[in-house]
Every structure is written in structure tokens, then in C-alpha cells.
């Protein structure tokens, strides 16, 4: 059975999928193009975004990657604004007993006036592989968001710029990337977001997505990414203080990955 698990992980890694990164159903449903959005899941995507939140929010999510429960990811995020600052925390666990990755992050974001948001994030990584033991490492992330016009936000995010790695006993790396994107609020109902992401040693990926509010508390979402070509869809329901978000991603070879998250705004 363990050989079966490692075979799956081998296939996933060869398709250049970073299964340990979960940006939450809202951003995922929009093609992953969330570097210029403000959301509690910005604690995973671009921590500068949590500085744009008005109230404390907590959310927990589950992703069943490719319909294989052994490749599932459990995640939780929390953000609390304090005057011109915001504190964020994130946690996620991916894999099985034979192979497991855990990532815990703490972030500090600040609003420099109404148009500029900035953040820094520190991650603690844990990796467990049978017959290889355990490895730990740290990485940092920095992010910016800027309101260029009334309805246009720009965002950029850099993860692991110092290229931290796990111990020498494993060949696993901690991905390093740079992202740049924009989001535009066409109306109170329609938001369009786009992003370019470059992961070190991989080709650049372009993503675009949209969110349309059918009614005040129901939103429909969709998006695509081009490398590889993937399609995304989902919805969100915000009823009073409760948030329910769902997304599904379609990979051209490996199939579908549904995910769900439930949040509460204090």
C-alpha cells in the first residue's frame, strides 16, 4: 500500500503540482488568481490582503485532490485586524502516514494609508517520509497590494526568496515563487482577477478568474490557468456571519479536485 502512495506522489510531483499549497475555495474557484484580492485565505496566498479585512475571520477547509483521500489537504486560516495592522495565522497538513507535509504560518500585515498594504509571513515546515525520518525548515514570504485606481488593485507576492530547503536526507524542496496580478471591480456584482506566477525552475503560469454575485449573499465563480491548462468553478454563500465556499478544479490528466471551506466572521 505504501508503494501505491509513493507512486501517486511521484505522478503528482512530475506534473509540477504543489499539492501542499491550498489557497481556499474562493481563490481556487477563480483560477488561483488571488494575489490582488482581500480575503481571509490571503493568509495563504498574499498576506498583504488580510490588512484589508474589517473584522476577525476564521475558516477551515478540506480538499480531496484528484478524488484520492490519501492526497487530501486539511487547512485552517485566521485573521484579526488591529487598527492599521492585521495578524494572520495558517495551518495545513497534506499527505498520508508514509508521506506527510505540515506547514504553519504567522503573518503581520500593515495598511499604509487607504491604498498600500504590505505583509511579511514566517512559515515552519515539517516533512515526514517513512525510512527517511523527519525534517524541518523555515521560510519567509512578503507581499504587497496597491490600489492604483478606485476599482483596480495590484498585488505582488514572493515566497521563499532565500530558497530554504529541507534536510539533506530528503530531496524535497520548499517551492520559491513570485506572483504579480490585478483585480478589477467592474460593479458591485462582478469582480475579475488575473495573475502571472513563476515558480523557480518551472514555466510561468497565467491565471484569470471572475466572481459574480447573483444576489447579495450568493456568488458564482470560475477561472482557468494555462500551464497546465486547468479549469475551475465554484460558489460562495455568505449568510450573516457564516461563510460557505466550494470549488472544484479540473486537471487535464489527473482529474477533479473538490474542496470546501466553512468560515465565521466575528
CB of 260 within 8 A of CB of 64? no
CA atoms in the 13 A half-sphere facing the CB of 96: 17
> Is residue 121 a contact partner of residue 88, using CB atoms and an 8 Å limit?
yes
Strand-pairing partners, residue 193, are 183, 209
Mean pLDDT value across the chain: 90
Does residue 143 contact residue 157 with C-beta atoms inside 8 Å? yes
Q: pLDDT (tens digit, 9 = 90+) per residue, 23-46?
A: 999 999 999 999 999 999 999 999
Beta strands in 113-173 (DSSP E): 116-129, 133-149, 152-159
Q: Is a pLDDT exceeding 60 seen at residue 207?
A: yes
How do residues 121-158 score in pLDDT, each as one tens digit?
999 999 888 877 788 999 999 999 999 999 999 999 99
Q: Pairing mode, if any, of strands 133-149 and 218-226?
A: unpaired
Q: All domains of the chain, ordered by start, with CATH?
A: 2-265 (2.40.160.60)
> Cα torsion for 8, 166, 90, 229, to the nearest 10°?
-40
Q: Which three cell numbers stand for residue 143?
A: 507581499
pLDDT at 3 over 80: no
pTM, full prediction: 0.91
* Each residue's pLDDT tens digit, 148-205: 999 999 999 999 998 888 876 666 788 899 999 999 999 999 999 999 999 988 899 9
Amino acid at each position: 500500500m505504501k508503494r501505491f502512495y509513493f507512486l501517486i506522489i511521484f505522478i503528482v510531483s512530475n506534473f509540477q503540482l504543489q499539492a501542499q499549497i491550498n489557497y481556499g475555495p474562493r481563490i481556487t474557484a477563480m483560477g488561483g488568481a488571488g494575489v490582488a484580492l482581500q480575503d481571509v485565505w490571503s493568509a495563504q496566498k498574499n498576506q498583504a490582503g488580510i490588512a484589508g479585512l474589517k473584522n476577525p475571520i476564521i475558516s477551515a477547509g478540506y480538499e480531496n485532490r484528484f478524488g484520492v483521500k490519501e492526497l487530501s489537504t486539511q487547512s485552517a486560516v485566521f485573521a484579526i485586524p488591529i487598527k492599521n495592522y492585521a495578524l494572520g495565522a495558517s495551518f495545513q497538513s497534506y499527505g498520508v502516514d508514509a508521506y506527510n507535509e505540515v506547514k504553519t504560518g504567522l503573518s503581520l500585515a500593515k495598511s499604509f494609508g487607504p491604498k498600500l498594504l504590505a505583509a511579511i509571513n514566517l512559515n515552519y515546515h515539517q516533512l515526514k517520509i517513512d525510512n527517511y525520518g523527519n525534517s524541518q525548515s523555515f521560510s519567509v514570504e512578503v507581499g504587497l497590494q496597491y490600489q492604483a485606481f478606485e476599482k483596480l488593485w495590484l498585488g505582488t507576492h514572493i515566497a521563499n526568496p532565500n530558497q530554504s530547503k529541507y534536510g539533506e536526507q530528503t530531496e524535497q524542496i520548499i517551492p520559491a515563487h513570485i506572483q504579480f496580478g490585478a483585480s478589477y471591480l467592474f460593479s458591485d456584482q462582478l469582480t475579475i482577477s488575473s495573475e502571472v506566477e513563476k515558480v523557480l525552475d518551472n514555466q510561468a503560469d497565467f491565471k484569470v478568474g471572475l466572481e459574480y454575485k447573483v444576489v447579495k449573499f450568493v456568488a458564482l465563480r470560475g477561472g482557468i490557468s494555462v500551464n497546465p491548462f486547468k479549469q475551475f468553478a465554484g460558489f460562495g454563500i455568505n449568510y450573516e456571519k457564516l461563510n460557505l465556499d466550494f470549488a472544484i478544479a479540473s486537471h487535464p490528466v489527473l482529474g477533479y479536485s473538490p474542496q470546501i471551506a466553512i468560515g465565521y466572521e466575528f
